[in-house]
Chain A
Amino acid sequence: MTKRLTFTTLTAMMALTGGMVMAEEKTLDIGVTDALTGGAAVYGLPQSNAVQMAVEEINAAGGVKVGEDTYMLNVIAYDDKANPTEATNAVRKLIDRDGVKFILGFCCSGATGAVASFIANEDAVMLVGNAAERSITTKEIANLTRTRPPADYTGAAAGTFVAQKGHKKVAVLGALDVGFYASYVDAFEAELKKAGGEIVTRESFGLKDRDMSPQLTKIRELQPDAILVVGYVEPAAFIYRQAVELGIDVPRYGFTSGSEEQFLRVATSEQMEGVWDLRPTELTLLSASENGVAYHANYTEKFGIAPSPSSPYAYDQTYALKHALEAAGTVEDTAAVAAALREMPIPAEVVMQYLPVDGKMFDANGQAYTSNGAFQWQGGNWVFVQDLPSDAAAYSAFLSTID
């Protein structure tokens, strides 16, 4: 009983000390919330690293010039384990306790959705990275932008591509419980149907499933022209291997964004040969710009490991924020900074290849668009084959019609 009383006072004391932010002259704190541990850390940790790296570059280059003043950036990063409650807690702490107004990171859809549901009421700007769920940018939240395009934008381009290859009967095997994977398939199906094709079955697998042979056996019986594999790389790699083992020899298309290393851990290069990955042209050395090559080299040197393909979404956020702060001429007025983000041309420092909408990086929904690419496994590597037919302006108009 007495224990609880001391606990309460302890909490109150912690609250008091926590309230004193150690603010130095001309330092601007920016926040990161992302999955730094747990299963989603594969996506979240590289994003957090990328923000840190961008901030160090910006500071080394003289900081952020806002009006008369020059600010050095300082990153406060919290782990949300991709969990919605933890992400809400992290953002509440950044805003309420640390006095942060600009929050980056956000690798994963559930956690991002939770924060997006209340961020409109806060005096803050939220910059979303890798989270691909469409609904995050359909509500036209004025103080939210996202660098990664929604999954169905890519899915539609993929559907067109596969239809052009002449496939009529496509079997889908995907992590369909995950919203954005399902929306990729929906958009894929819509384009396939326009060309007279159809999806003959939609089979599902869970994050911990590694034995896909029951689903693949069913697909084998249906004799499709092609299969489409949609999901996280770790289970998806097994599908490609087990499809070969079961003697399925139709073309295999996918949306997994895994690296060569991740696939070769599970399947041999022969088993992977000819597989297509239809996804945003994220960071692969073959498709990368000069910025991309430099990013890859710097990141690898700094963190001792190659950057994940999606990590530049967070790097690019940081530069977008820098330019928006400078354009708005304030670090206090978050509405002005949010408006400046939406008015901004594509900064020169970004790594991903964005397609501008009306000459701007973000559209009215706060959404940015990269190009989509078709990659194929050839002789042990992902090879960039061609751009996918993707129409950023049309998709942007479509996005504005959803609520």
Chain B
Amino acid sequence: MIEILQQIVNGVAIGGVYVLIALGLTTVFGILGIAHFAHGSVSMFGGYLTFFLVTSWGFPLLLAILVALIVGFVLGMLIELLAYRPVRNANHINAFIVALGLTMMVEGLNLQFFGHEQVVIPTNLSRVFDIGGVTIPELRLYVIIAAALLIIAMTLFVEKTKTGQAIRAVAENRDAAILMGVNVKTIPLVVFAISTALGVCAGVMVGSLFAIAPGIGEWLVVKGFAVLILGGLGSIPGAIVGGLVLGVTEALAAGFISSAYKDVIAFVVMIAVLLLRPQGLMGKA
């Protein structure tokens, strides 16, 4: 029993990271219809930047994260303006290929700036809590809490603010939103800025809890898309549920079935959902 609980706790931590990645992907997808494949690499760029500011320039961690967030905001808007906007009205396949090209570029830039050795953002949090036999390292707990807070903030933003409502309006019915006077030129910018900032947060979490290294970003974005399929493309509750389901599934698969094939098992679950419930766990039929 303790083993199962421990595995679920293990899965929730990595699941929280998946949720943050998926939230960025799902807002971009739901509103702009773009499969933003470069999201993972851009997120890792945020993590790398935080690491660099902390270790080379001696920034305190929170300040470094703040700077990385601002850079993320700007970077997100630039990506929208320079790369995606020119192919806006073309076939959706073009946007996807632009996304693949962007991924290669950002991966290359990361490699050029930060090298190929893995980096870990130093935090000095090494206590471990033990709750009735289930152990959880301090850092993991904070990551889970931070992810939860970000998810709540994101939900509040979309539900309660004016910009959030405009974003939802565009997502639900683009033409109607235009008629109602929503500025469809600035909405994509806002969406990319927010999604990239969420990605930067995920990058910092991955970088402190685990590590940032070449290829990790692509690996994460694949997981993020798997979450979208599980939860339903474009659905925010879907990203939350899907991310947690994927994280816990992987942990249970590795713990009780086969660690070698845990990713394959997660993939089979994804295919099964696709067959039985094509709109995803939380998507509308």
Contacts and interface: CB of A to CB of B under 8 A. Distances in A.
Are chains A and B touching directly in their complex (CB below 8 angstroms)? yes
Interface residues of B, number: 37
Interface string B178-216: 000000000000000000000000000010011101111
* Residue from the set A177, A238, A268 with the largest chain B CB neighbour count within 10 Å: A238
Contacts of B251: 213-214
Interface stretch (B19-27, B56-64, B255-263): B255-263
* Residue from the set A38, A215, A217 with the largest chain B CB neighbour count within 10 Å: A217
Contact of A245 (B137, B210, B219, B262): B137
A265 B259 contact: no
A214 B262 contact: yes
A327 interface: no
Interface stretch (B118-126, B167-175, B272-280): B118-126
Interface in B102-126: 116-120, 126
Given A208-B215, A210-B210, A215 B120 contact: no
A265 B116 contact: no
Nearest to A217: B6
B1 to A, nearest CB: 11
B240 interface: no
B128 A206 contact: no
Contact of A39 (B209, B215, B259): B215
Given A204-B260, A218-B255, A41 B116 contact: yes
A246 B255 CA distance: 14
Contacts of A213: 6, 10, 13, 251
B128 A39 contact: no
B254 interface: yes
Interface in A261-275: 262, 265-266, 268, 271
A186 interface: no
Contacts of B259: 203-205, 214-215, 218
A243 to B, nearest CB: 11
Contacts of A82: none
B14 A42 contact: no
Contact of B210 (A37, A238, A247, A268): A238
Contact of B130 (A41, A214, A218, A247): A247
A234 B211 contact: yes
Contacts of A206: 263
Interface of A: 37-39, 41-42, 176-177, 203-208, 210-211, 213-215, 217-218, 221, 234, 238, 245-247, 262, 265-266, 268, 271
24 contacts: A203-B254, A204-B258, A204-B259, A208-B215, A208-B219, A210-B210, A211-B10, A213-B6, A213-B251, A214-B10, A214-B262, A215-B259, A217-B3, A217-B6, A221-B3, A234-B118, A234-B211, A238-B210, A238-B211, A245-B135, A245-B137, A246-B135, A247-B130, A268-B126
Nearest 10 Cβ contacts at the A-B interface: A210-B210, A214-B254, A204-B260, A213-B10, A214-B251, A203-B259, A245-B137, A204-B259, A208-B219, A214-B255
Given A205-B259, A210-B210, A213-B13, 17 more contacts: A39-B116, A39-B215, A177-B260, A204-B259, A208-B219, A213-B6, A214-B254, A217-B3, A217-B7, A218-B3, A218-B256, A234-B118, A247-B128, A247-B130, A265-B117, A265-B120, A266-B211
